Amino acid sequence: GQQLNQSPQSMFIQEGEDVSMNCTSSSIFNTWLWYKQEPGEGPVLLIALYKAGELTSNGRLTAQFGITRKDSFLNISASIPSDVGIYFCAGPANSGYALNFGKGTSLLVTP
Amino acid sequence: GAVVSQHPSWVICKSGTSVKIECRSLDFQATTMFWYRQFPKQSLMLMATSNEGSKATYEQGVEKDKFLINHASLTLSTLTVTSAHPEDSSFYICSATGLAGGLLTYNEQFFGPGTRLTVL
């Protein structure tokens, strides 16, 4: 399947700081999805992007679908301790409706 | 809406036994369900795609005779790990996608909470 490169691998920040993470693909996507996973839980969908250039917000989270359709970024503004978790980007796999996931960005927020 | 449940949430079994994990879509009909496996501190890796009423499609390297998948209804898929061994210990996560009054698109998968399998 397509390779998704997600960076950074981990982030350790102070409460109130803004966070930015990104994902690049080896091939063109028509959909980008961002998920958050907390320990011992399944991933929860944060934002779905369907058009190149699209910028979508969900509360303090903002994600953009890159113009080249090979990248996406997720920003979190004014981070809070409950933002802690692993954030995954995902895009459609070659086979049907399955998803390929990036390796994740682990976010730690100190009060 | 778009709730997916898994049962059990965790299971410990002896090597050589079989374990069945259920995945249910609670408020929508899931035409397709997916099974993923996640090892500690790693990403989700797709194991198989399951369409209601048909045989599952397995990813390369996943043994279909070891990981039996049944998707007998539009709200239930099961994964049976047969003759489990310690190396099968992992976090198994299902997801579902389908149509629910336009809420879901084919690219939006909703995930269950996962099942932690430990094989002794």
Which residues in chain B touch residue A98, judged by CB atoms under 8 angstroms apart? 34, 46, 49
pLDDT of residue B54: 84
Contact B43 A99 (CB under 8 A): no
Instruction: Report the residue of B10, B44, B99 to disrupt the A interface, i.e. the one with the largest count of A CBs within 10 Å.
Output: B44
Would you say A8 and A105 are in contact if contact means Cβ atoms under 8 Å apart?
yes
Which residues in chain A touch residue B114, judged by CB atoms under 8 angstroms apart? 40-42
> Given pLDDT bands bounded at 50, 70 and 90, which one contains residue B14?
very high
Contact B114 A42 (CB under 8 A): yes
Instruction: Report the residue of A99, A100, A103, A106 to disrupt the B interface, i.e. the one with the largest count of B CBs within 10 Å.
Output: A99
Distance between CA atoms of residues B82 and B75, nearest Å: 23
pLDDT digits (tens, 9 = 90+) for B25-49: 998 888 889 999 999 889 999 999 9
pLDDT digits (tens, 9 = 90+) for B52-74: 888 899 999 999 999 999 988 98
Which residues in chain A touch residue B32, judged by CB atoms under 8 angstroms apart? 96-97
- Helix (H/G/I), strand (E/B), else coil: B86: helix
Q: How far does A75 lie from chain B, in Å, by closest CA?
A: 20
Which residues in chain A touch residue B48, judged by CB atoms under 8 angstroms apart? none
Query: pLDDT: is B110 or A82 the higher one?
Result: A82
- For chain A, percent of residues with pLDDT exceeding 70: 95
In this predicted structure, which of A64-73, B42-51, B99-108 has the lowest mean pLDDT? B99-108
pLDDT digits (tens, 9 = 90+) for B18-27: 999 999 999 8
**B7 shares contact with chain A (CB less than 8 Å):** no
Distance between CA atoms of residues A3 and A33, nearest Å: 15
